[in-house]
Amino acid sequence: MNEENVNEDSRELAECLRTSRIPPAYVCPRDLRPARKLLRRRNKYVKNRAELTGHSTCEVMAAGNQPLTISANSKERWREGIRSSFDNPLDSFTAEMELSIVERYDEIIMKMEQRIEKHARDFKQQDYRLLRTAPGIGKILALTILYETIDIERFPTVKDFISYSRLVCGTNESGGKDFGGKGRKMGNPYMKWAFMQAAILGKRADPKLNAYYERLERKKGKHTANAIIATKIARAVYFMLDRKTGFSVDQLIKGRR
């Protein structure tokens, strides 16, 4: 880049700032950043644990055994199934090492959750209680949404909130032609994760929401149905926080996408 281009770019940026064409960025308050960082790190560890458990389960299948399932109530049975699936001593050793890491992740994640809940006990309690009325939004998801949102008033419209949550992407059109999606990585990935998790857990917890999901799945497929539910939950959360009202599954189903 030559000096002339640098000067031209500088003038253009200065003009954008002068005319407010560049919106100001939001800066999270300093005293809230440590809790938000801890929530994000906890999310990373949960993903690492899921990757390890998935790899261990795949290794069992590769050894010619029946696939194992894992849940909160079957962790010990899953571990015993992993340990008894390999004849080769080295395979058994590798599996045992991965199990040790998974168990250590369990301990660390539990400690992190306890510390987060203790620290955030007095943070936006009214909003926290409102979020907990939504099926699928537990303690950690509620705190994630609150600490990533901070202040609902910084979003002028529900569309801004949904866009920030990375649940919609931009368009790339010219002359009436669509050249494919654009900006799929724009927005907050932690908010997207929270609402996608809320969609998955919510349909398990609420029969009406599950029935609605099944109708969507038949028409649009599994992934699109989950995305629609997540977007609707995000829309509901925006109005819950903005109007200080509880969750209504009937309004979620009747409301437009």
**172 and 221 together in one domain:** yes
User: Total structural domains in the chain?
Assistant: 2
**43 and 156 together in one domain:** no
User: Among the three residues 63, 94, 119, which one is the final residue of a domain in this structure?
Assistant: 119
Give yes or no for residue 2 having a pLDDT over 60: no
Give the pLDDT band of residue 177 (cuts 50, 70, 90): low
Give yes or no for residue 257 having a pLDDT over 60: no
Give the pLDDT band of residue 256 (cuts 50, 70, 90): low
Give yes or no for residue 182 having a pLDDT over 80: no
Q: What are phi and psi of 173, to 5 degrees?
A: -120, 150
**244 and 147 together in one domain:** yes
Instruction: Taking residues 28-45, report their average pLDDT.
Output: 93
Give the pLDDT band of residue 6 (cuts 50, 70, 90): low
Give the pLDDT band of residue 43 (cuts 50, 70, 90): very high
The predicted pLDDT at position 63 comes to 74
Give the pLDDT band of residue 1 (cuts 50, 70, 90): very low
Question: Does some domain include residue 196?
Answer: yes
**209 and 229 together in one domain:** yes
The predicted pLDDT at position 174 comes to 57
Give the pLDDT band of residue 244 (cuts 50, 70, 90): very high
Q: 23's torsion region: left (phi>0), alpha (psi -120 to 50) or beta?
A: beta
The domain in which residue 206 lies consists of 123-257
Give yes or no for residue 3 having a pLDDT over 60: no
Give yes or no for residue 175 having a pLDDT over 60: no
